[in-house]
A = this chain, B = another copy of it.
Amino acid sequence: MTKVINSYDFEKYLKQTKKVIEEALDFSLGPENPEILRESMRYSLLAGGKRIRPILCLASCSLAGGEPSLAVPTAVAIEMIHTMSLIHDDLPAMDNDDLRRGRPTNHKVYGDAVAILAGDALLTRAFEMVSLRSPGVDPNRLLNVIGELSLVAGAPGLVGGQVVDLECEGKEVDLDTLEYIHLHKTGALLKACVRTGAMIAGANEKLLQALTTYAEGIGLAFQIIDDILDLTSSSEKLGKTAGKDLLADKTTYPKLLGMEESKKRAFDLVEKAKKAIEPWGADANHLISLADFITNRDR
């Protein structure tokens, strides 16, 4: 599939927005005490990456007619939640991963105890960002954002998905279970990105529903592509251990559906996602380009 270039400069938007996010992430962590906690939190939060989630959040705020700078603390909160889930999932007690974004995982550098606690600290800081560090936003909107984040980060979202995932390791898993895991481990947070961004702008239920459909589509597509890349990319390119799903005998889309069908499904999902927000015309440009960007990523 070819990359869609919109008439507006998406690359520029991406670059500028990423810069805003990186600065806000850097600023979100203070001196912290003790020093090793500070280092561990910074190590993972400022480890680079595409920052797709916070960008989705700001782009949705724009689409909903809001001033995106008002959504920056929420975007940072989302990246903190994402980061803490990676730190905890990588632990020896869970996925036991040594590499993440091309570098040793947090517990490999700081030990399991500090890694667990740095994750806890990032999770709580996320709620601090929205409750105390989001000036200029209506308190009811902020409460809704906090509610949304508490649901997707917890048992009904990331945590529940991860427990089901752990339970399924080494077992035969059907497509329904696989999608359950992905909808909770990946989809829930992506949905929260677009919904919270729009909530900050006071979006109505119709738009929130369209954004939910959009996020479910790209969320699942994102995961299918992750499965594909685990098979086709090198560890170096991937920035994490490649072929790990195969080694762990994990059920993946390519394994269940075959490579071609998996690719087709990812493509269809992205098309469906884009269609959901088409009614918003040019205002949806960022999100439409982001959907393509996510599906065309080569790592």
Contacts and interface: CB of A to CB of B under 8 A. Distances in A.
Interface of A: 32-34, 36-38, 41, 84, 88, 91, 93-94, 111-114, 116-117, 119-121, 123-128, 130-132, 139-140, 142-144, 146-147, 149-151, 153-156, 158-160, 162-164, 166-167
Contacts of A142: 139, 143
Contacts of A117: 88, 159, 162-163
A41 B124 contact: no
B120 A88 contact: yes
B160 A32 contact: yes
A131 B146 contact: yes
A125 B146 contact: no
Contact of A124 (B114, B139, B140, B159): B159
Given A143-B143, A147-B128, A121 B159 contact: yes
Given A93-B113, A128-B147, A160 B120 contact: no
Given A111-B93, A146-B131, A150-B131, A33 B124 contact: no
